[in-house]
Each structure stands twice: as structure tokens, then as C-alpha cells.
Amino acid sequence: MTEINLDNTVAAIAAELPGAAELFRRHDISFCCGGNLPLSEAAVKAGLAPSELLRN
């Protein structure tokens, strides 16, 4: 994965991007058991605008 977008799964992002796991923990986004969700869906479930996570 060279570019992160809202279609990437949170598991893939956590595995490849340093700091992503901590960001997901802070927002209570599961990247292990629920890691098969795309970032867009995981953000909405966490009550966040998907674009907000891309900025962090």
C-alpha cells in the first residue's frame, strides 16, 4: 500500500503505517478483530468523519 485512502482496511493501515495503531486505539477503532472494515466505515462507527482520520 503506497497511498492510504478510505477504502483501505484498518488492519492493513495499522500493519503498514507507523503510529496508525495508536491513533486507532485513541478513537476506539478495532484494527485486530474488526480490522477487515474499510477506514471509511470504521470512522463512522467510531462517530468520526472519515476525512478526520486521514488528516491525523
DSSP string, 1-56: --S--TTSBHHHHHHHSTTHHHHHHHTT--SSTTTTSBHHHHHHHTT--HHHHHH-
Residue 56 has pLDDT above 80, yes or no: no
Q: Residue 9: phi, psi to the nearest 5?
A: -75, 150
The pLDDT score that the predictor gives to residue 34 is 75
Residue 34 within any structural domain of the chain: yes
Backbone angles phi, psi at 38, to 5 degrees: -70, 155
Q: Determine, yes or no, domain membership for 23.
A: yes
Q: Which tens digit of pLDDT belongs to each residue from 15-46?
A: 999 899 999 999 999 998 878 999 999 999 99
Q: Which pLDDT score is estimated for 1?
A: 61
Residue 32: domain span: 10-55
User: Is 18 within the bounds of a domain?
Assistant: yes
Domain presence at residue 37: yes
Number of domains in the chain: 1
How far apart CA 53 and CA 2 sit, in angstroms, is 17
* Domain assignment of residue 5, yes or no: no
| 1 within a domain of the structure (yes/no) | no
Instruction: Give the pLDDT confidence score for residue 30 in this predicted structure.
Output: 92
**Global pTM value:** 0.86
